[in-house]
Amino acid sequence: MLSFNELLTFEYENEYESAYDLSVKRNFSIPKIYSANGDLSKRWYIYFSFRDPKNGKLERQTPFYGNANKYRTKEDRMSVLVTYRKVLLRLLGQGYSPYSDNIELHKSLNAKNTVGIIYDLPDNNTTPPSEKPKMTVKEGFDFAIKLKEKLVSINTKRDYESKIKNFLKWLSINHPEIKFISELNKKLVVEFLNDVLNRNSARTRNNYKTDLSSIFQVLVDNEIIEQNFIKKIPKLKSIPERNKTYSQDTQEEIFCYLEENDPILLLYIKFISYNFLRPIEVCRIKVKDIDTKNKTIRFKAKNSPLKTKIIPELLWTDLPDLNKLDKDAILFTPDKIGGTWNTMVGNRRDYFSKRFKRIVKDHFKLGIEYGLYSFRHTYITKVYRALMRDSSPFEAKSKLMLITGHSSMTALEKYLRDIDAELPEDYSTMLKNVYE
């Protein structure tokens, strides 16, 4: 005797249309799909009732799962269950009964190729069983972003959304015929990246490539598209933007000028200079992040969720009495130390960058190569050269790693090379010996 699961699975794999005689009194209820309100962590299935031949009542039958729950997207899972339900309706209409031997029915179905009308279902689950539901380009990207937002920071999500918005705008102008996410291809994305390159820089173009590739990988992982062809697009060589270190005289002139003209900006710069924080890390600081007893600060760093650093005495003496401030207050706001500022941390960083340009760069006529990062480079260089006076290079770098917070010696050494912190001693005697 064939079991219900065996019969239904077989008929799913060998599906063909069959007639359903509406004149026959139904001995079964219309099969329904249970989708757990879209929760993919729960099991989805088909359920129905069949009239018990002994008591004449409709009795709920064992739910049918099939292979539906192995699929990882709602669209795929629903498509499979819709097909199962369609086949089940056909079997029920042709005489299948969970209370009897169905061998003769099975033989009959294999011997005939009946074409007919499938019972008209009362809901909207009409997706063709042989096709996956098509997603528009925007729907595909929205789906990927929704999954990504659980894994990335708010700022990263905003970067994704911004780049996708620009891509969709470009697509609507240059290729309005493209409607579905499956229609995108490598040639089209290369065309878009070339447009980004023409309007911006190689670095910006590479950033677009990286972010779009990340989004496309989500679509591949969820079997919405077949491959991430963006991975095959080469990365262009770009010249990194680099902030130069300040000379001793320029740095002192800037500090003296800000003491009179913008003390808040000066203290902001001192956190970058003395604590070696990045501008956005300073913008994240709240009053409660500073331990007044141990003179330490906790902050979210670039490559780690949370770091702790000491606050050097040189900086500590410039801080106001933090015990008088609201613990949840943002440390740096436009008009005071310790206050409310309801805007994204990226907007805070941009504000202080523009304020620095207006107050400092324009006044001292500094070039594009000088910025807030230049103070971090300047003071790391100072500390490293001071350590080198009494230590070997390895000892000096080991001590410096504790101060700067670099995650590895390799990362620190690359950073020191990039900012030209490592300079050799005078080699004049070597040059003289060459000519003697």
How many helices (H) and strands (E) in the chain? 17, 9
Task: Place 73 in a pLDDT band, splitting at 50, 70 and 90.
Answer: confident
Q: At 76, phi and psi to the nearest 5?
A: -65, -45
pLDDT in tens, 202-235: 989 999 999 999 999 999 988 889 899 999 999 9
Mean pLDDT estimate for the chain:
83
CB 382 within 8 A of CB 274: no
Q: Does 13 or 49 have the greater pLDDT score?
A: 49
148-161: per-residue pLDDT in tens?
A: 988 888 888 989 99
pLDDT top residue among 251 and 15? 251
Residue partners of 181: CB distance under 8 A and separation at least 6 = 135, 136, 137, 139, 140, 141, 219, 224, 225
In this predicted structure, what is the pLDDT of residue 60? 87
In terms of phi and psi (left: phi > 0; alpha: psi -120 to 50; beta: otherwise), the region of 99 is: alpha
Mean pLDDT of 95-119: 53
Please list, in sequence order, all residues whose beta carbon lies within 8 angstroms of the beta carbon of residue 213, skipping any fewer than 6 positions away: 228, 230, 231, 233
Cα 188 to Cα 169: distance, rounded to the nearest angstrom: 14
Q: What are phi and psi of 310, to 5 degrees?
A: -75, 155
User: Cβ(189)–Cβ(212) under 8 Å?
Assistant: yes
The residue whose two tokens read 């005078």 is: 426
State the pLDDT confidence band at 104, using cuts at 50, 70 and 90.
low
Query: Which string of DSSP letters, residue by residue, matches 17-70?
Result: -----TTSPPSBPPPEEE-GGG-TTSPPEEE-EEE-TTT--EEEPPPB-TTGGG
84 pLDDT more than 60: yes
Of 31, 20, 30, which Cα lies nearest the Cα of 117?
A: 20
Eight-class DSSP state of 296: E
Coil, strand or helix at 124? coil
pLDDT for 288-299, tens place per residue?
Answer: 999 999 999 998
The structural domains of the chain, ordered by start, are: 4-111 (no CATH), 137-232 (1.10.150.130), 248-418 (1.10.443.10)
What does the alpha-carbon distance between residue 350 and residue 339 come to, in Å, rounded to a whole number? 18
Report the share of the chain in percent with pLDDT over 90. Answer: 46
Question: Which amino acid does the sequence have at 414?
Answer: K
* Residue whose pair of structure tokens reads 């799962």 in the numeric block: 65
How open is the CA angle 281-287-289, to the nearest 5 degrees?
60
Q: Write down the pLDDT at residue 434.
A: 54
Give the distance between the most distant pair of CA atoms in the chain. 118
